[in-house]
Structure 1
């Protein structure tokens, strides 16, 4: 009765109802039973139910042969009756039907008790071991091919000594040992010392656990390199030894990649959690997968409150989050990064907002990383630079305008004026009085034009240099219009222009008197210059719906093209031209008008059609 806990022959000397026998019979881990000499079940322990599913009631009174596999029945009958008749030890193996209709391999061992002529038997379930033996015997060639040609390392080791009994070529290649060296080692020789305890515990489990899968271990190669392997192992009988056959998968790269990923995630968290920039991650339902502590600064909400929630669930209004969701959806659909500058707090601050798609191994966008950085200082610096650039361009244009005025508009009239004075010096003794009067009139006209030009140039330069002082006061508008018209009365008469006015009575406005006179003088002068002889100029005043005072100066002159109208107040474009009777025009007057109107907070508009005249309307807040 090798390897059995009790000799059934000895049970015959003790009555079954004896306490010690009864305790052993019903607490044994194997299947214990008592049969009659004919093979009828008389007693069984509870293990039959836990192993095969049969209760004592199911078995008692039944012949044990009723459950034997048909293929084993003849052999079992022969061995059983021969052993009973010869009074020998009962010892045979067969397949036995369980309650769920599966067959178990049972090893039967027992003895006939000569006192009561009953057979005492202990049966052991050896299905696992028997299946292995059958597999090995039926598929030896297949197992050899599988073992030696496997692309993964494989070996067989002794469960008692941990010695290697066989290794395949891939194990030799990956671990660096020759086959002879491998077979002189034990499993402990390739296991780091700090894992010895875990190895011993695992071997204890392996003795009772037939199959294990994907256990992770560290092993030492011949050159001392530590590698990570996943092992799957099963228990087999090899050369009559209880062994484990192991297949290994080197997962060092995967473990290192996972470690690198973990370290990267750790660094990511360290960086994001210490950053003042707002960092978040969203899924396709716009739920927050991650939020860093900067949420407290921007929203007053702790980061943990964001996790798993949408903006709506967090209390944001749809008006706020709809534009965000639209951009996030675009990135999910396109897989392309999005970046834009967003004004916040009514444009007082600016955020550089980036949405970065994150992909799975199949290239699908599974989440989006949102990175928002405050760039208010940068944007304001850029705006200041752009403003400075515009200002620089304006200064260059002003410089060019000055050069143009000095080179053409100022020099040419002076040349004419000087020519007339030369004529007087050379020919005065021989001139007739009427010739002298004519030349004097021409000198006077030239001097007035030069004076007007110099006056505008001086006023404009003072405005550009910031030296002009704005002194608003209450002014009777009609008085100022009359003053300008009176100074130009002779000019209107010479050109035979029809001047009409349609002025509201008693209009007092708050304006700088000098600037207002310059505005009226230039606009009325322009109407005079560009109206042909016998034409009309009309001046009218009225009150706008916003209670501003409007002054309209309309002429029946030569008018302007749409392009000229658009460029009237641009320094970089040339818009000056001669009047209808060759009057000089530098274009500077309208620029000065625009500057003065801006200082008053007013507006100027122009409507003009070539050949039909122009209408200038100025508004000044009252």
Structure 2
């Protein structure tokens, strides 16, 4: 039975009650010929019939309407029966049409009834107060007032409740009509009594086509058994959820519905909500097929594929097991920090934090991992955020890119090495002898750091390839400096190294400690100098090893491949040319310096010649003019005096000319020592004999002390020049009555040492650096006014050095000086 059918029964019941209350009164008034009452009741019955028809048409129902209708009918009958036309019932009879309109759902029925009873309320109040309007007794008016007041209050309250109820019903209807889910109301036997409009939209059936039908008839045959079981459980439990079945559509297709149902035991109705799951089911089916295909693909893939959730791998393929080297049980409990390389942990942790923060989209990163076996591998990781079993998770693929990284690193390494070599070549093009050491040290540092060695060195060798000439080196902080490769080796090992370098071969030992073969001197050097790896590359020029470029690793073994060694060999060619260029630059610089010094010396000598030769000739000319002047006769004494002075000037000029000639021959390379054995005692006496008269004239005492029988092989003429200059200088700067001492002896290292000492005025300290040069600022006149050219000591030094000896001075101002000459004895 539907709601409408049940409501219609109630309406018929109310109509019968009304008829029982009204018909007797109507028959009585017909007999009494009270046509006014008959007319009123006839109108009343007509209006009731119209309202019942309205109800049937609109299918509206309100329980309170029929209760109030019944009470009003009984009330009316009571009053009319007892009061007749003259009673108060006439007023109630006039109210019945309005009450009927209101109670049966007429839009304005409530308003009419409220207005009518309000008028009756005002009439009763005015009658009680004035007794004019209604000719009834006070008791009747009071009852009339109370009844009118109660009706007004009840009508007002009911109207308000009805308005609120109407709004609530409208909201429920709107929800019912617009909800996306399918709503069903049915009997316990499964027949449908009401459905929402969405059922027509989704299933295609109209509401009329579904009403009264058993919904199981629309279920797919394969799902009927489950659905009937579900319905039986619903009748027992009263509420069930999560039934999925297929429902027949009008076009013959089936759609998946997910059901939730509740049983109303009071009304014996089932309220059910069904959600269309067709697309979701199709998507799920496609997803399952895709997952199956993905699972098959992932199991066959070499890449590691996984799902990571709550800090652990929850699902993974065989590729990930092979990549990390762990078993399934180990991988399930493995922490990320246990397999990520420590140097890459910070970057990986940053990516993890970004994922935990909810960052969406693909994320890519390259980092190193450590396998269970301790291997280091490069991997490329691509991850995305998904939902797994209702919780956020990360799905990722991990590809082994170790070989690609190694190729990339090797390519980058070679590219940077080539760039470094190009930079070095460019820098050394502009290098000179002054910057060579700085740039060479910088080169060794850059290559040593780049190749991951601990120290580097470059040394040049002599022609026999057994001694170091120049050494350039660099080492890291905390690493001992380079030790000569020839240090602390016996003769056999030295010969082995020299022979090896002469063969132009390279030496490269990646790890001396693990080398199986005997490496000879390399092993010995590694033991003594504490290195693990060594790389030695010869610098070859004109089929001659001129040096070695070397690298040593102390703290760890260093591995370089043949291609890197080939590039470093190219570097040795560059360095060979650099060293050759440096030698040429040094030669040019030396030649330029010598030429500049010669030019300066030449200019000074020209100045000396112009000044020191002109002065004696001016003196000679002046004296000879005096002697030739016939107007002034000269005595013999005067002539002898002038002759003595002329002789002195001539001797000085001769000394100057001899020094100039000797210097000229020396600069042109015409003077070479011609050694002959001489007795040192006789040699000294002969060399100073012609100047003893000067010392005697100044009352100077000359003391000669020579070791008896001392002989030496020297160039007699050169050494006479040396002794002559030193002895005449002692005469010049020793006051009258002073002492000049000449000593000669043999030293313990078989050197002839000659010392010329005086008790003269000494030499100021500021003049000592200029003493053996041609600087005019160091020239001083003797105590007798003798002039000095400044060439003497310079010639002495060069003559002594031609003998392989040395010349130096010890002096104290105002106390005297001692000049030492030391030359090899050369037996």
TM-score normalised by structure 2 residue count: 0.39
Query: Which one has the bigger strand percentage?
Result: 1
Structure-1-length-normalised TM-score: 0.50
Structure exhibiting the larger radius of gyration computed from Cα positions: 2
Q: When you count helix as a share of all residues, which structure comes out higher? A: 2
